[in-house]
Amino acid sequence: MRILLTGGCGFIGSAVVRHLIRNTSHSVINIDKMTYAASESALEEALSSPRHALIRADIADAEAVCAAFAIHHPDAVMHLAAESHVDRSIDGPGAFVATNIVGTYNLLAAACAYWSGLAPEAKARFRFHHISTDEVFGALGPADPPFTEATPYFPRSPYSASKAAADHLARAWFHTYGLPTIVSNTTNNYGPWQFPEKLVPLILISALEGERLPVYGNGANRRDWLYVEDHAEALVRVLERGIPGATYCIGGRSPSSNLEIVLLICRLLDELAPDPRGPRSRLISFVADRPGHDFRYEIDPSSAEAALSWRARHDLTQGLRRTIGWYLTNQSWWKEIRATRYRGQRLGTAA
């Protein structure tokens, strides 16, 4: 299968590319704008694989998107390209509208025109998998049941609103034009190659550097956490087994508060790389909460687990231990980012 994959040099996208090259026979046409959070290095062995091709292009450029379909003749699309940082969406929502809404429209329009011209057998096999977030569902209270595929949408930030719009477009192209789209929603991912503005790498790297560990509010906001390599495996199963028109909620069954995450990172880091100055928890600093900070997200992945014959392999402690080990081994990567490329405007949790 030839897969046109957008955002394949980003955090989750590169994990999907690595999984495809390592564990399947599929080939990947990787379209990436190469924004501040993208990294060619994250492709690892895919960079030299004959089954991977990197196209530097912006999905907000309709001409470039159409050219990718015309030149590479994909059998499927995996759409991961997105602006995804909530704080950045508050400071500059225009980029989120351009990429997450206009870019998704461009992909759907080009895919539909391409799909309409395929031979019947190829047309029946074609899939358009749109990858989204649980933030489109809004916030949960402490006693509310987790999100499912039937949860109504209630986005509350420019980021989540732009992703909700993209989800609705993908479903509209299925119902209106018959394009075989599939939507998956996931919760907070963590793991190797995550850009240092997000909660786990921000806390981990700050702790290694002996800097303060900023936590929004009182740290009680809760998220469900999923190791990125588990998510990559699930996404490929959605593409291979998913039913057009369906939605799959993919979660890790690891809900924790932001403060619990920070404390666990400190404990594991103290175990793996002790600090002679004392436990890293001494560095925790509570900062003013950000606008629109949703209290809780959590997914019930039961339906997706049954449909895909999949379940996350790593619990939170296992996944964080692997993640910390990777950041300890790959310090040159994140140190270069912090020295030359990091342009985060707020510190704090990215959840």
Query: For every residue of the chain, which 3-state class applies, written as one string?
Result: CEEEEECCCCHHHHHHHHHHHHHCCCEEEEEECCCCCCCHHHHHHHHHCCCEEEEECCCCCHHHHHHHHHHHCCCEEEECCCCCCHHHHHHCHHHHHHHHHHHHHHHHHHHHHHHHCCCHHHHHHCEEEEEEEHHHHCCCCCCCCCECCCCCCCCCCHHHHHHHHHHHHHHHHHHHHCCCEEEEEECEEECCCCCCCCHHHHHHHHHHCCCCEEEECCCCCEEEEEEHHHHHHHHHHHHHHCCCCCEEEECCCCEEEHHHHHHHHHHHHHHHCCCCCCCHHHHEEEECCCCCCCCECCECCHHHHHHHCCCCCCCHHHHHHHHHHHHHHCHHHHHHHHHHCCCCCCCCCCC
Whole-number average pLDDT of the chain: 95
pLDDT at 342: 58
- pLDDT category, 341, cuts 50, 70, 90? low
* CA quadruple 158, 206, 337, 226: dihedral, nearest 10: -50
Q: What is the CA radius of gyration of the chain?
A: 20
Does 217 fall in a domain? no
pLDDT at 277: 97
Residues 6 or more apart whose CB falls under 8 angstroms from that of 205 comprise 196, 327, 334, 338
Q: Considering only CA atoms, which of 17, 10, 108 is closest in space to residue 59? A: 108
Does 268 fall in a domain? no
Contact between 279 and 257 under an 8 Å Cβ cutoff? The reply is no
Number of domains in the chain: 1
* Tens-digit pLDDT profile for residues 120-176: 999 999 999 999 999 999 999 999 999 999 999 999 999 999 999 999 999 999 999
Does 11 fall in a domain? yes
Is residue 52 predicted with pLDDT exceeding 60?
A: yes
Which entry of 32, 134, 294, 298 is annotated as an active-site residue? Answer: 134
Which entry of 135, 197, 233, 298 is annotated as an active-site residue? Answer: 135
Is residue 310 predicted with pLDDT exceeding 70?
A: yes
For residue 309, give the CATH number of its domain. Answer: 3.40.50.720
Is residue 346 predicted with pLDDT exceeding 70?
A: no
Q: How many CB atoms lie within 10 A of CB 130?
A: 27
Cα-Cα-Cα-Cα dihedral sign, residues 74, 77, 83, 84: negative
Contact between 118 and 131 under an 8 Å Cβ cutoff? The reply is no
Does 234 fall in a domain? yes
Which entry of 105, 114, 159, 297 is annotated as an active-site residue? Answer: 159
Classify residue 201 as exposed, middle or buried by CB count within 10 Å of its CB (0-12, 13-18, 19+). buried
Least confident window among 38-47, 94-103, 334-343: 334-343
pLDDT at 347: 39
Instruction: Report the share of the chain in percent with pLDDT over 70.
Output: 97
Does 282 fall in a domain? no
Is residue 26 predicted with pLDDT exceeding 90?
A: yes
pLDDT at 268: 98
pLDDT at 86: 87
Is residue 59 predicted with pLDDT exceeding 70?
A: yes
Does 32 fall in a domain? yes
Packing angle between helix 331-340 and helix 199-208, nearest 10 degrees? 100
**Maximum CA pair distance of the chain?**
67
Catalytic: 135? yes
pLDDT at 351: 39
pLDDT at 350: 40
Print the domain residue range for 299. 2-194+227-253+295-313
- pLDDT category, 290, cuts 50, 70, 90? confident
pLDDT at 63: 98
Backbone φ and ψ of 18, nearest 5°: -60, -45
Catalytic: 134? yes
- pLDDT category, 42, cuts 50, 70, 90? very high
Is residue 349 predicted with pLDDT exceeding 90?
A: no
Question: What would the mean pLDDT of 308-318 be, rounded to a whole number?
Answer: 98
Taking the alpha carbons at both ends of the chain, their separation in whole angstroms is 35
Question: What would the mean pLDDT of 70-90 be, rounded to a whole number?
Answer: 94
Predicted TM-score (pTM) of this structure: 0.95
pLDDT at 340: 81
Contact between 321 and 168 under an 8 Å Cβ cutoff? The reply is no
Does 135 fall in a domain? yes
Residues 6 or more apart whose CB falls under 8 angstroms from that of 68 comprise 4, 29, 31, 55, 57, 74, 110
Question: What would the mean pLDDT of 3-24 be, rounded to a whole number?
Answer: 98
Is residue 344 predicted with pLDDT exceeding 60?
A: no
Contact between 130 and 111 under an 8 Å Cβ cutoff? The reply is no
* Tens-digit pLDDT profile for residues 234-268: 999 999 999 999 999 999 999 999 999 999 999 99
Question: What would the mean pLDDT of 274-289 be, rounded to a whole number?
Answer: 97
Does 233 fall in a domain? yes
pLDDT at 339: 87
Find tokens 């990436």 and name the residue: 32
